[in-house]
Chain A
């Protein structure tokens, strides 16, 4: 839409807003959601740019200054080999956030394709796909994840590449819920007139699904994808905390909390494990607030 010129007749009040603009206005009115959005932007910003301006590198050792409590030079103290905890927390943020986002992208791609195919074709295809989804959904998520992560660990994946494995596992296990949601919506959309029109125009199935059906489910996809990022970050951190996800030397918020296995650190050096734990909590909370707001703004029907 062309921006309305100031000299034009005053038509601003009658300006026709697109659904996305309307959603944005609704979102902006939701204070909690905006708090979530700004917090999230802050966390992403600090994780991405923080390490660049930090005077320390992730692996800078300073053996003369080990396990020191927070001070002006090290706002969050140092660890047992003198690395700056704040810098590591920021690097870990990059890892944890990217695992969350990539895992969800994988899950959304699989989930929407499978859901769309299942909903569009129906019949035997749908029955088979939904049985497979059932199998995935009946599986207690965490035990399955732990089991796969254990088997993966046996392949001795290099720590640098483990994060890709973790992204992949979480992504590949979390699509069924989304695919069910998409399927349900496609089932209803398929019967509407615009699809009959597409049919009459002789469009191919693939085009109908990708250009006409899936875009109509976009708002639910966005809402559940946002909330899923929160879930994926929690899952990654739990897995890394247990030593089955991202492993040191690559820092992630989860494996940084793992230092508590040392009872002395747990009791007397809280600056080493509380900040990464708080980061997980704050980030996940921010995403959940934003996701809830998005649901109210985009998809009033979905609102619980």
Chain B
């Protein structure tokens, strides 16, 4: 196992390099002079030239890339010119807000999708199954921004049950449990949007995996020896049916940090999403490159975790 993880980690290096090259090239394609974008227009030509020198902008692209990637490796991700702070610091201050929201949605969708998926499978083609198949499709087909807007209109603007946006009340000084309650109150609507979107995939996956398992011989054996249907389904079938589901959960781990850009934007949740979009609008390139590198890294890590958990829960899989 340790050997496998080491090998996979080593394999991540070329992929990460490829991603970093891609990100770098995309930003090289951006027209205009990065220096003029950073400093205010009144700056003298001499200062600009000095800055160009500092940022290695006079060197060939390959050399520039080398400087950039070396800095990334040293943990120096450049400075966000909008926030006037190191990129790592900016990311760190917003990343966790995204994480809390996504984690809540992750847990909620797991709690809902697995039982629904199992019931849909055991009652295949029943009304229950049919209704949830359609609900799942609605979840996939609904644009998250539109759904979010509808919820805000209904529940925040019209009947004022939930706050319109943000994570806490403006100027809030709440601490401890009061703060938790306040955050939860703000989280409710974005949570519904996120969960509804991710529910469908998990639900259908659980359903199909369960359907496959309950047709297997050992399930017939379990029934034949007179076990109660409940035991057959929840003790014998579910265990095996959940194996592929675990992988899907693993694969949605990186989404915990990145999956909610649009939803966060709609609800003005202070996470990575709005920051990324703001960085796009202000052309805060170092921040954008930093966010994208981080997200790519987390995605790779998530894939690895998915594969490893898969091996842990399924003894039939041997990692080489």
Contacts and interface: CB of A to CB of B under 8 A. Distances in A.
Interface of A: 32, 131-132, 134-135, 138-140, 142-144, 146-148, 150-151, 154-155, 230, 234, 237-238, 241-242, 244, 254, 257, 260, 266-267, 270, 273-274, 277-278, 280-281, 284-285, 288-289, 292, 303-304
List the 3 shortest-distance A-B pairs measured between CB atoms, nearest first: A277-B146, A304-B208, A285-B141
A135 B300 CA distance: 9
Given A139-B19, A139-B296, A257-B145, A146 B261 contact: yes
Given A138-B19, A280-B146, A292 B137 contact: yes
Contacts of A292: 137
B283 interface: yes
A288 B137 contact: yes
A304 B291 contact: no
Contacts of B281: 150
Given A139-B22, A241-B262, A273-B149, 5 more contacts: A147-B288, A147-B292, A241-B143, A280-B143, A281-B143
Contact of B149 (A131, A144, A260, A303): A260
Given A155-B31, A284-B143, A142 B261 contact: yes
Contacts, number: 123
Contacts of B69: none
A140 B254 CA distance: 9
B213 to A, nearest CB: 13
Contacts of B18: 131-132, 135
B269 interface: no
A140 B258 contact: yes
Nearest to B133: A32
A254 to B, nearest CB: 8
Contacts of B309: none
6 contacts: A140-B258, A150-B30, A234-B143, A238-B143, A281-B143, A284-B143
B255 to A, nearest CB: 8
Nearest to B298: A140
Interface in B267-320: 276-277, 280-281, 283, 288, 291-292, 295-296, 299-300, 303
A273 B262 CA distance: 17
Which of B14, B22, B145, B300 has the most chain A CB within a 10 Å cutoff? B145
B299 A266 contact: no
Contacts of B22: 135, 139
B292 A138 contact: no
User: Is the contact region of chain A dominated by helix, strand, or loop, or is it mixed?
Assistant: helix
Nearest to A278: B146
B149 A138 contact: no
A135 B20 CA distance: 10
Contacts of A135: 15, 18-19, 22
Interface magnitude class on chain B:
35 or more
B29 interface: yes
Given A135-B18, A238-B143, A244 B149 contact: no
B243 interface: no
Given A147-B26, A151-B26, A266 B280 contact: no
Contacts of A155: 31
A151 B288 CA distance: 11
Contacts of B276: 143, 146
Given A267-B153, A281-B143, A304-B204, A244 B280 contact: yes
A304 B18 CA distance: 33
Contacts of A132: 18
A278 B296 CA distance: 33
A303 B144 CA distance: 26
Nearest to B204: A304
Nearest to B201: A304
B77 interface: no
Interface in B12-49: 14-15, 18-19, 22-23, 26-27, 29-32
B140 interface: yes
